Amino acid sequence: MFLSVFDLFKIGIGPSSSHTMGPMTAAARFLDELLGGDWPRPAGVAVDRVGASLHGSLAYTGVGHGTDRAVILGLTGLVPLNVDPDKTDAVIAEVTATKRVSPPGHPSYRFDPATDLVMDRKTKLTGHANGMAFYAYDAAGRLLLKRIYYSVGGGFVMSEEELQRAKTAGSVTTEGKKVPYPFKRADEMLAMAKKSGLSIAEMKRVNEETHMSREKLDEGLDAIWDAMRRCIERGLSQEGIMPGGLKVRRRARMLHDKLQEQWGQNKPNPLLANDWLSVYAMAVNEENAAGGRVVTAPTNGAAGTLPAVMRYWLHFHPEADQASIRDFLLTAAAVGGIIKTNASISGAEVGCQGEVGSASAMAAAGLCAVMGGTPEQVENAAEIALEHHLGMTCDPVGGLVQVPCIERNALGAVKAVTAASLAIKGDGTHFVPLDAAIETMRQTGRDMNEKYKETSLGGLAVNVVEC
């Protein structure tokens, strides 16, 4: 099994990896299929109009999560990595006015978002809660091509055929890549670490360098952290009301200014580390809620937890350096890959335990590793963090990634640091294995009512409105 660090950490835009980045990527894949796919093309007939329908969680919370905008942007040829968040409004306004999309390399297609983009809450696509279909028609309105895609969390997109093959194989992973340390479970990871004498980060590095040079790997890791760092800095500098209609005000800058003032006064504050963790995480998730540039970690909804813990490491630990940041990311990716392979990182599939819970486990593992933890202590840290997120629902108020998502990332960061601290003070032995916690998350997600899985049909999403 091989899931690259760059599969889990993807640079894109907010507010949602599954509802924004995934649908944008799916639209781009559909465009590629239109040009180069192996599908029957009637002689003398050309694609005149394109359309899309959103299903399941994408239909219920798509507007609040920016899914409609993402599909429009994707059909113009934009992808999450290269889209400029400051120019998206202009692109969408042009499509809405002209009722056409003109992606590079394609002819211009008719596409009216008002009629050709449908939020279909009645038709359920069976592969995954985040399903979508894209259509191509000729000038007479005859359907030429239909493709179904699923956004399975963290920006990952799979076609119907790919998802079926992955389910048959027993996991949703990157296929066809052999690596020296192909651990699929945490117990396998620990056994390989013991036999090789390598740390988890070192094993992950060897796996990555099987497919790329050390220089390219380090450059990519540095780019991930740089994007995370810039997101924190931008989040700490912004003020005002976040978009979407809830009128939630940004708080990160105000909290940061207060912390800076207290820092300068040199007053004792027993909660200082927790306060900084919270403000860093909230800065990221406020940026995400505003549609800014973020990194999936492992998702957009959980994007603030891991960067907050990394910034905490650099802030409060004098031994922290750039090399340790790389080891942090590699360790976190190793744990995230195990969670994704054996359970899910999708809120629409297992609730927020799969998003912030996974992020907290990854952050705890990374922090424990750079603090000098053994592989057994790292696994223990991840387990502690994940165990205490089990059962967490995904119930965004108004379908927006704001309440309770922003504060939830802050608390996920605090739990991660606590988990790492507890684990590193032990010898690595513990009662509940990480694999058992992951399996429990999978089972809990399977049993969880759909109204608590990113549909905004239960929990805070209905009770806050009713109050």
In a domain, 2, yes or no: no
Domain end position, chosen among 135, 169, 203: 169
The pLDDT score that the predictor gives to residue 465 is 64
**pLDDT attached to residue 10:** 96
What value does the mean pLDDT take over residues 202-227? 98
Q: What is the mean pLDDT of residues 55-83?
A: 94
Which residue, 297, 276, 317, 250, is CA-closest to 414?
Answer: 276
The pLDDT tens digits of the residues spanning 303-337 come to 999 999 999 999 999 999 989 999 999 999 999 99
Q: What kind and span of H or E run contains 174?
A: none
159 and 146 in contact (C-beta within 8 Å)?
no
- Calpha distance 110→381 (Å, rounded): 53
The answer to whether residues 119 and 223 belong to one domain is: no
Give the domain extent around 307. Answer: 186-466
Tell me: do 159 and 218 sit in the same domain.
no
Are residues 424 and 300 part of one domain?
yes
Q: Is residue 177 part of a domain?
A: no
Q: Is residue 176 part of a domain?
A: no
Residue 175 lies in a domain: no
| 447 burial type by CB count under 10 A (0-12 exposed, 13-18 middle, 19+ buried) | exposed
Same domain flag for 89 and 126: yes
In the structure encoding, which two tokens stand for residue 206, read together?
Answer: 């060897």
Q: Could you tell me if 61 and 93 lie in one domain?
A: yes
* Residue 5 vs residues 60, 183, 199, 269, 442: alpha-carbon distances, Å: 31, 14, 16, 36, 22
Same domain? 430 vs 404: yes
In a domain, 10, yes or no: no
In a domain, 234, yes or no: yes
Same domain, 381 and 417: yes
CB atoms closer than 10 angstroms to residue 279: 25
E strand or H helix that includes residue 12: strand 11-13
Q: Quick one: what percent of the chain has pLDDT higher than 90?
A: 89
In a domain, 9, yes or no: no
pLDDT digits (tens, 9 = 90+) for 91-124: 999 999 999 999 999 999 999 999 999 999 999 8
pTM to 2 decimals? 0.92
Please identify, among 110, 144, 169, the residue that sits at the C-terminal boundary of a domain: 169
Considering the domain architecture, whether residues 331 and 455 belong to the same structural domain is answered as yes
Give the CA distances from residue 391 to residues 17, 353, 358, 419, in Å, rounded to whole numbers and listed in that order: 21, 6, 12, 18
pLDDT interval class at 2 (50, 70, 90)? confident
Helix pair angle (305-316, 405-424), 10° resolution: 50
The stretch 50-70 carries a mean pLDDT of 94
Phi, psi (rounded to 5 degrees) for 152: -95, 15
Residues 33 and 147 in one domain: yes
C-beta of residue 277 within 8 angstroms of C-beta of residue 314: no
Q: What is the pLDDT of residue 1?
A: 55
Based on the fold, state whether residues 406 and 447 are members of the same structural domain.
Answer: yes
> What is the 3 state secondary structure string of 294-314?
EECCCCCCCCCHHHHHHHHHH
Question: In this structure, what CATH number is given to the domain that contains residue 24?
Answer: 3.30.1330.90
pLDDT (tens digit per residue) in 172-184: 444 457 999 999 9
150 and 288 share one domain: no
Residue 306 counted as domain residue: yes
* 239 and 339 co-located in one domain: yes
Q: What is the mean pLDDT of the chain?
A: 94
Structurally, how many domains does the chain consist of?
Answer: 2
- Which of 134, 169, 204 marks a domain boundary? 169
